[in-house]
Structure 1
């Protein structure tokens, strides 16, 4: 018992002795702290390595998918292209040269995707518990590429308000020519094989009407007292359907209302007497001024497009509904026969949003104020401006229904010469016609001067490229 009491006193004395406890506790705490710091450093190191690797792999795959889309490379070149990108960017972040290893690259021809799997082996700053000094970090990413073809119809305002103005020292028609020409170059520069172009462009200059150029055979010339639709196909006497200026206004149905369809000019219809006629496009007898510059159907011939733009001359009033109509025609496969028969190209492809991106760009510097026919059901009291805007919006709705992506540009819409009402109506029309914006794509633009107009067209060109890799 005495010995037990002695042991208890000894233990109690040791417990009360404070001379060495701090050192023991500090040592234990320092060890835990060191382990924690080392662990945190390793975690941070691995996180930074993973982030750097993912960024490089994402960029490599995205770049390769873009090159596949634009035809810069073929699918057999994809592996080499990704590897070259990884090698060139292997020192991103905390990574070191030649550290990235491409494990696998998969090009899925059915889904049109490119997927890359890669890794890096990271040397840890603080190996713990005698574990390996290396840790493997992996990354995987995929991107969509496209074999879509692209068709772009540019409806460009060449009305009188676009004339050069010496008082304000502005030249809006010149600004348009510069911006449109650069857009044509930017788009067609993406074609790698001139014999098999991926991108084609159509130019539709418009004012009071559209000059159909080589498509004059698709026009029905009205007279003041004559019928408003072409004669029956079995009419005993041939009636001329062309005129020297080759211009056209709205196409009208059998009752004289504006026709919003994209039907081809050789579509057969029945008049009010049940006779079959061809749905050609009207040249209203009240039209007075025809644009000198003719439209150009879809083509990859840069010289032809640039020459057409060089021939722009400003004059006339703004029949925006007619512009929208002809933009629709130039993208509609229903017009393929007429265009190819006139030896103006192969014509538009079929509507197929997975295979063909169809784009319309509508540009104006003012309010739509002229129309020769209104829509069925519209009030007879509508003035020309109301008819023109209503026609344009109805045609834009039909284009969007057919998966045509519409971009619009308002040029100098804050011109003091326009009233507040005119400005509001012009902007509202362009916003309504444009495809709805998304988080990544803007569709309605305003440009106050030539520099901003060129910038707007440039952004649209870049957006068109984005659309080619979307589904």
Structure 2
């Protein structure tokens, strides 16, 4: 028993020693846990400060780059712009007022970038492991800006199918969305040096050329489909020469001899009577099948009627302008009527963005026209909208309704290809293309043309074709296109 008693005593002593060891171990563990918790809190605090600082300077630089791009501020004002933004937003997240320090701002006029470096000093909750009471957190960001000008031509459908029917008011929806688009694009600009200019091309059975109608050849029944040629009886009688007169004399002579019943235009025709799908100006010299010269006036086909659905729309083409009032007033007066000559409208949209029409536009007192193509300085954008399939054409038509539609759609796709080859970015909108009044085939044809006409989607402009059903969706599509247009200006 004595041996067992010693064993019991030994075990008891060991247990007493173990109790002391547990206390020591617990104290050490608690200290480690406290340090770990404090370290974790500090790391979280620094992470949140870094995230907040990055968000603030990202927003400041993006805002400043956008203002530089849109012309709200000059490059010399960028520093003050960033500082003002930081002062107004430096309490984001866990940041405190006056905590953000702007270390450096660089405006690179060659690369067109704005770079900002900034820091905050964060007072740590748990200054441990030799950490001082404060740690510095830094962040940097860079954003692109652009001094490109932007030229936008909007092709707007005012055909009969857009008319109000019961509670559905497509023409009203178009007016509201187009006006909002114009106001968004043209706001905050220097009127003496606008960065963005907008043209509109309303269309139905044809396009009303307005003051540009002096460049239109009004066909008469039984007359040639080409404008008068040099050496022809009309020009010889007026000039006494077989040579082509100056362009100004030519349009004066032709206009007096063949007065317009209205200011409408259809397709320009080539020497074979087919649609001439170039963007050439009307003062371009052409030759007929016999080599006789004439100027490339745009045709007003004699089959275009003066009333009913086959009539000239009242709303006129308005070339590129930064004056929103003229555009808004025109849109306000839109009236839905007529067939859908979409290819003719696309061609006039092309004209509005073509520098080859600059002289004609200037001579008509309608502004300076489109700029020369220069991807580094100019972004050219076309927005095409329709609520149905293109069904009307004149040049080269054999007489049947189906041939008109096929020609119109084929011409539209060729024109869109030509525009894209000239560096024009094309966005298209199908408005209520699921209308029950159209057959499934018609809907498919309409969508196919719009998809084919639109530019390819990119990482910058992720969508170029929009299929919308309501006025709210139409307005949203216009606004997304405008945002994409700004991205195009930054990246092209």
TM-score, normalising length from structure 1? 0.89
SS of 2:211's partner is helix
Cross-structure match for 1:447: 468
SS of 1:291's partner is coil
Residues 234 and 296 from structure 1, CA distance in 2 versus in 1: closer, same or farther, beyond 3 angstroms?
farther
- Partners of 1:318 and 1:273 in 2: CA distance: 35
* 2:278 pairs with 1:261: yes
CA RMSD of aligned residues (A): 2.6
* 2:357 pairs with 1:335: yes
Q: CA deviation at 1:234?
A: 5.3
**Which residues of structure 2 form unaligned runs of 5+?**
1-12, 236-252, 306-310
- Residues 163-183 of structure 1: CA distance to partner in whole angstroms, max 9, x if unpaired? 233xx2433323322322222
SS of 2:130's partner is coil
Cross-structure match for 1:76: 76
- Residues 145-199 of structure 1: CA distance to partner in whole angstroms, max 9, x if unpaired? 111212111111121222233xx243332332232222222222232x2222222
Aligned ranges 1:62-461 → 2 under 5 Å: 62-165=62-165, 168-191=166-189, 193-233=190-230, 235=232, 237-238=234-235, 240-241=254-255, 242-288=259-305, 289-373=311-395, 383-439=403-459, 441-461=462-482
* More off after superposition, 66-75 vs 19-28: 19-28
- Partners of 2:368 and 2:329 in 1: CA distance: 20
- Partners of 2:174 and 2:16 in 1: CA distance: 94
SS of 2:382's partner is strand
- Partners of 1:452 and 1:129 in 2: CA distance: 58
- Partners of 2:352 and 2:191 in 1: CA distance: 21
Cross-structure match for 1:3: none
* Contact map agreement 1:150 1:198 (CA 8 A) in 2: yes
* Contact map agreement 2:228 2:254 (CA 8 A) in 1: no
- Partners of 1:47 and 1:169 in 2: CA distance: 54
- Number of aligned residue pairs: 454
- Partners of 1:270 and 1:90 in 2: CA distance: 69
SS of 1:135's partner is strand
Q: CA deviation at 1:302?
A: 2.0
- Residues 246-293 of structure 1: CA distance to partner in whole angstroms, max 9, x if unpaired? 211112222222222211111222322222322221222222221122
- Partners of 1:28 and 1:309 in 2: CA distance: 79
Residues 254 and 47 from structure 1, CA distance in 2 versus in 1: closer, same or farther, beyond 3 angstroms?
same
Q: CA deviation at 1:381?
A: 11
Moved over 4 A (4+): 13-17, 233-236
- Partners of 1:186 and 1:55 in 2: CA distance: 26
Residues 16 and 170 from structure 1, CA distance in 2 versus in 1: closer, same or farther, beyond 3 angstroms?
closer
- Partners of 2:191 and 2:231 in 1: CA distance: 43
The structure carrying a bigger helix percent of its residues is 2
- Partners of 1:258 and 1:125 in 2: CA distance: 77
* Contact map agreement 1:251 1:258 (CA 8 A) in 2: yes
- Partners of 2:347 and 2:417 in 1: CA distance: 11
Q: CA deviation at 1:235?
A: 4.3
Q: CA deviation at 1:106?
A: 0.8
Residues 233 and 49 from structure 1, CA distance in 2 versus in 1: closer, same or farther, beyond 3 angstroms?
farther
TM-score, normalising length from structure 2? 0.86
SS of 1:237's partner is helix
- Partners of 2:325 and 2:287 in 1: CA distance: 41
* Contact map agreement 1:374 1:388 (CA 8 A) in 2: no
* Contact map agreement 2:391 2:401 (CA 8 A) in 1: no
* Contact map agreement 1:121 1:134 (CA 8 A) in 2: yes
SS of 1:184's partner is helix
SS of 2:444's partner is helix
Residues 273 and 381 from structure 1, CA distance in 2 versus in 1: closer, same or farther, beyond 3 angstroms?
farther
